[in-house]
Structure 1
Amino acid sequence: MYLEHVNLVVDDVEAMLHFYQAAFPHWYIRSKGQGTWHGKPRQWLHFGDDYHYLALSDNGEHKNRDLTGHQVGLAHFAYVTNNIAAVIARLEQAGYSIDKPGAENPYRKNVYFIDPAGFEVEFVEYISDIPAQRNNDK
C-alpha cells in the first residue's frame, strides 16, 4: 500500500504548479480539465509521475489554516529526496525561501517550505538506511 495522491483545493493552480515544478522537475501534468464542485465551476489538474501525484483544484475560498495556531487541519506533508541541497537550490532559484530548517539530527536533513496556497511542505534526506536511526528524534 502507498499514498497515491493528495487532493488540494487552492486559489491559484498556476502558482502551485510553479512551486511544485521547481521541487519535482521530473513530474508532469498527467491530466487536467474543468468541472463543477457542488455547483461552483473549477479547473483541476493532476501533477506527478506514474505512481504519485498532486490533484490541484482552483476556486478555493479563504486562507489556509494558521500554521502557528492549533486549528484542526493539515499541518504539513513530506517528501523524501536523495539530494535535499538540490531541492532547496531549485526552489530558491524559483523564488521561494526556506520557511524553517528542520531540527539537527545526525541521521537526516530536513527543511520546510510554504507553497503558494499556504501548505507547509517538508523535504527530508535520510543519511542512514537503518530505520531505528532514521526515525530517531534526537
Structure 2
Amino acid sequence: MYLEHVNLVVDDIEQALNFYRAAFPHWHVRSEGSGSWHGKARNWLHFGDDYHYIAFSDHGEGSNRELTGHSVGLAHFAYVVHSVDAVIARLNQAGYPVDKDGAEHPHRKNVYFIDPAGFEVEFVEYLSDIPAERNSD
C-alpha cells in the first residue's frame, strides 16, 4: 500500500510547479485540463512520475491555514528523498529558503520548506534501513 497522490488547491499552478520542479527534477506533467468545481472554473494539472503525483487545481481563494496556529487542517506532508542536502541546494537555487531544520537524529535528516501556496513540505533522508532506528524518537 502507498499514497498515490495529494490534491492541493492553489491560486497559481505555475508558482507551485516552480517549487516542485526544483524539489523533484525527474517528475513531469502527467496530464492537465480545465473544468469547473462546484460552479467555479478551474485549471488542473498532475505533476509526478509513473507512480506518485501531486494534483494541483487553481481555484483557491483566501490564505492557507496558519501553520503556527492550532486550526484544524493539514499541518504538513513529507517526502522521503535520497539526499536532503541536494533538495536544499535545488530549492535554495530556485529561491526557496529552508523554513526550519528538523531535529538532530542519528538515523535521519529532515528539513521543512513552505511552498508558494503556503503548504509546509518536509523532506526526509533516512540514514538507516532498520525501521526501529529510523522511527525512534
Distance 1:91 1:123 in 2: 11
**CA-to-aligned-CA distance 1:62-107 (integer Å, 9 cap, x gap):** 1000000000000000000111111000000000000000000011
What is the CA–CA distance in structure 2 between the aligned matches of 1:71 and 1:88, rounded to whole Å?
A: 28
Inter-partner Cα distance in structure 1 for 2:121 and 2:69: 17
- Counterpart-to-counterpart distance in 2, 1:39 and 1:126: 44
Partner of 1:69: 69
Counterpart for residue 119 of structure 2: 119
SS in 2 for 1:67: coil
How far apart, in 2, do the equivalents of 1:5 and 1:81 lie?
16
Please list every run of at least 4 consecutive aligned residues from structure 1 whose deviation after the TM superposition is greater than 6 angstroms.
none
Let me know the Cα RMSD of the aligned residues: 0.4
CA distance in 1, matches of 2:118, 2:31: 24
In the other structure, the counterpart of 1:37 is 37
Paired with 2:82 and 2:37, the residues of 1 have a C-alpha distance of: 38
CA drift of 1:59 comes to 1.6
| Equivalent residue, structure 1, for 2:79 | 79
Aligned to 2:130: 130
Overall identity of the aligned pairs, in %: 76
Whether 2:109 is the aligned partner of 1:109: answer yes
Structure 2 gaps, min length 5: none
1:133 counterpart letter in structure 2: E
> Which whole-Å CA distance do the structure 1 matches of 2:121 and 2:24 have between them?
13
- Unaligned regions of 5+ residues in structure 1, if any? none
Letter of the structure 2 residue corresponding to residue 75 of structure 1: A
The equivalent of 2:16 in structure 1 is 16
Tell me the alpha carbon deviations over residues 8-51 of structure 1, each in whole angstroms, 9 at most, x when there is no partner.
00101000000000000000000000000011000000000000
SS in 1 for 2:92: helix
* Residue identity opposite 2:134 in structure 1: R
Task: For 2:118 and 2:50, locate their aligned partners in 1 and report how far apart those are by CA, in whole Å.
Answer: 26
The residue identity in structure 2 corresponding to 1:72 is V
Distance, in Å, in 2 between the alignment partners of 1:112 and 1:84 is 10
Matched to 2:122, the amino acid is: E
Number of aligned residue pairs: 137
